[in-house]
Structure 1
Amino acid sequence: MAITSAMSNGVSGLNSFSTALEVTSDNVANTGTTAYKSNAVRFGDMVSSYYNTQSKDTDRRGAGSVVLGVATDFAQGPFTNTTSWCDMAVNGQGYFNLAKYDSDTKTVDSQVFYTRDGSFHVDKSGALVNYQGYAVLGQDKQPIFVEPTPETPSHTNFYVDSKGQIWGYPVDGTSDPETIGAKIRMVIFPNEGGLIRKGGNLYTNGPESKTPIDVTDNQTLRGDIAGYTLEGSNVDLAKEMVNMIVYQSSYNANSKSITTGRDMLDTTINLVR
């Protein structure tokens, strides 16, 4: 019956726009998240069986809408200056590499995570880590130790150059800075859209992102690293608020399709009373 089909169409619209509101609210909630990349819903139409028209051609009858997927906008976010040399931002393409590190056994987990969030610090073992305790990997895919012996520090006044090399001034008074550690490893992906979001500003590579490409020494393909800087969220708050209004209005309109269908169904039932 066409009436029940109209109600089903309305239900599909409710499902689609509730998902859209979920994605939009997630964007709004992450407006202040370091290096967060906003997401957008992609809608698609559904069809049912063929039906005849006045022409010789046939069309498909509409059966509502469906969410085809959620697309991520990987555009670079704005930069913010900080007071910590460990805060780093990539100006251009590239991802930092992180992995779990066991300081007791001195082993690195094989699972590598990728991030644009460069809010790092030096832990008690002297390793450069993020705030979840994952070690930042160098070009040799090993953790970077800023201070191999934290109890007796040998360098001070650290900084990172645009190529990802960490430098420090010897505490013995030597004037020239010295390199610290295997540059910070940087990779890019043939298809960023295929990265799998893991939470905590981390991604893993997926079958569609393809194998990461090491661009640590390739200044053409990778961006420069800026110290004392963090990349902000690329969420456009004004745009998200407009989207929220549109999705809410569309949700309400689809609920109206259901209530109207119900009223029509009641009218049909009352005809036989």
Structure 2
Amino acid sequence: MIWNFYGFLIQKNSHTSPNAYGDHALIMQLLSVAKRDQTSTMAEIVSPTPIHSIARVSHATDQQRGSFKGSQIRGGIVQDATIDLNFDMGQSNVLISQKAGEKMRKAVLLDKATQMRQAIGKSVAQRLSDFEEEYGAAFRSFMSELKTLQKRGRKPTFSDLRDLADEYFDDPSIRHAAITAAAQMEEQMGDQDGLADLLHQFAQTLMEEEGPSIRAGYNINPIIELFAGGTSDTFRALRDAYRETLLSDASEEQIYEFLVHVLPLRLRHVLRRQRQNEKDKKKREKPAWEDWDSTEKSE
């Protein structure tokens, strides 16, 4: 079996072929991930902790009545005549209450949607660590586009979902995760026009079309996080590299070579680039007076 062959190669080369990991157990973990990508099926994203429903604000309907007694002033002459100024605030108060209630209801729903999106984002991040940081804004825009279609009275179609998904999500695993997360949000918010079912169907279609690529992205994530320290701009490049090798016509030896030697080198390259970017960023953020002070000292 290919994976037993890999284990043999690792033992054979353990004293002669240094690698960036320095831990054969971790190498075996990588090989195990690759094996799972070629043989197993994708499990659904773990459902996020449900957000408890928030009761809507009830509209006040009680009428309020009041009276005012005072003196009337005419032409500078104060008259002692007492006048009852009775007025009915009922209708006015109901209207005000309705407007306030509607604003409150929208605020509550918006807050609920925000909490739900955050919970789902954390859930997805367990499978794809860069989802929230790199694609959080894209996901919000994607959901906003769907709501805009609904407000216009048009139910989103498969074609709409595909166009929007391709526009906002450029990675197969991210795209599948976003569609699945959107379906979960629709279910918890109260499905409108069967949109949640349509999203689930589209997620299944994506899995049928790009299953190996999607699974590879999910399964390599914990390994990348382990070696790369969870930096977000690392994940996309290494997911692509892993897919490229795993889904190619590479031989057993070539796949082994990639997992044990090439991937660590790419990790090192990405990490060096990240460190350099951080240094450049600190230089740009350095206050001008510090440079001036150091120049004075040198003089």
Which has more helix, going by share of residues?
2
* Same fold? TM cut 0.5: no
For normalisation by structure 1, the TM-score amounts to: 0.26
Q: Which has the higher contact order (CA 8 A, sep 6+)?
A: 1
For normalisation by structure 2, the TM-score amounts to: 0.24
